[in-house]
Amino acid sequence: MPEQTARKVLVTQRFFDPESLAYLRSQGCEVHIAELAEGQGDGDLSQEQLLALLVDVDAWIVGHAWITAELLAQLPRLQVIARRGVGYERVDVDAVRSSGKVATIAVGGNDASVADHALAMMLALGRRLGDSKARMVSGDWAIALGSDLYGKTVGIIGLGRIGRGVAKRLAGFDARVLAYSPHPDWNYGREAGVTYVDLTTLLVESDYVTLHAPLQDGTRFLIDALALSRMKSTAVLINTARGGLVDDRALLEALLDETIAGAGLDVFLSETDPTYRATTEALLALPNVVATPHSGASTHEGLQRTNLIAAQCAVAVLDGATPPASCVIADGRGHGAGGQ
């Protein structure tokens, strides 16, 4: 590589592995990893804190921070925002384009990790793992009967990369797999043994309903009180996608009223709306809820994969090249403030 001025890369996520760090340095990058307080994520940083970190940075590897037009306008040197993840509802893609910058996501890096997590939640709820341990700790060793995942009907809402990973894993359980998607891939359905149905049919017939859809205007509160009322009283809801897909208050009522049997939750509305904090706390207190702190993608292997993809996307842009098309969510080079 020709000698050049070091390109500054800022990482505002935890668990950035040595291999990805070494890759960036091998590409002539000077890497700075933000020091975050215990329990703090980059989504908790104020715009003033972000600006102080980003003022002389060329590339930013980011997690959950809000990428706004106001922020980007004050960062003329910044060329690329590389999300270590696949959701990008916190990225103002129009502002990225108009500012002449590039934004990318780490497609394919954490699909397997999240699919594994969804299956783990199904098994934990069916076999009452959390409830059984709590009883044993209190001295009650009576057997609590659980339910098999084997042979059950599982409804997958959103059949993209992660949803297909879940379907593939369910084949080992001889499960009947239903899917709801606005754009059915009939060839895939036939090959994978997945039956596409409408949303109501999926809710009515499934023993497990698992969400793998993006959060958009048309999917917000996709699972509301009406949707929950259509599910079996023995059914379980799994959400490892986005909190806004489910009306958490309606879910709490459905669990308390025994409208459904349980829920596995990796995401919550309170992550973006603090008025739902009390609802989240009430959900966490229920014995038929298995919960994790938005950690479905957070395995050593999954983060190594997404770290490297984000790093490769950042380097591609700094080199004047184009990252893989599936990773690019906005490219304003030549069209916005940074263009000719």
Q: What whole-number distance in Å separates Cα of residue 333 and Cα of residue 3?
A: 24
Q: What whole-number distance in Å separates Cα of residue 88 and Cα of residue 66?
A: 9
**Annotated catalytic, 300?**
no
Q: What whole-number distance in Å separates Cα of residue 333 and Cα of residue 25?
A: 25
SS3 104: strand
Q: Exactly one of 242, 249, 301, 335 is catalytic; which is it?
A: 242
Q: Which residues have a Cβ under 8 Å from the Cβ of 340 and sit 6 or more positions away? A: 334
Q: Exactly one of 14, 90, 161, 294 is catalytic; which is it?
A: 294
CA dist 111 to 115, 125, 147, 161, Å?
A: 6, 22, 26, 6
Query: Are the C-beta atoms of 117 and 138 separated by less than 8 Å?
Result: no
**Annotated catalytic, 161?**
no
Distance of CA 146 to the CA centre of its chain: 28
Q: Exactly one of 271, 281, 305, 333 is catalytic; which is it?
A: 271
Q: What whole-number distance in Å separates Cα of residue 329 and Cα of residue 214?
A: 14
Q: What whole-number distance in Å separates Cα of residue 23 and Cα of residue 305?
A: 13
**Annotated catalytic, 253?**
no
Q: Cite the active site residues.
A: 242, 271, 294
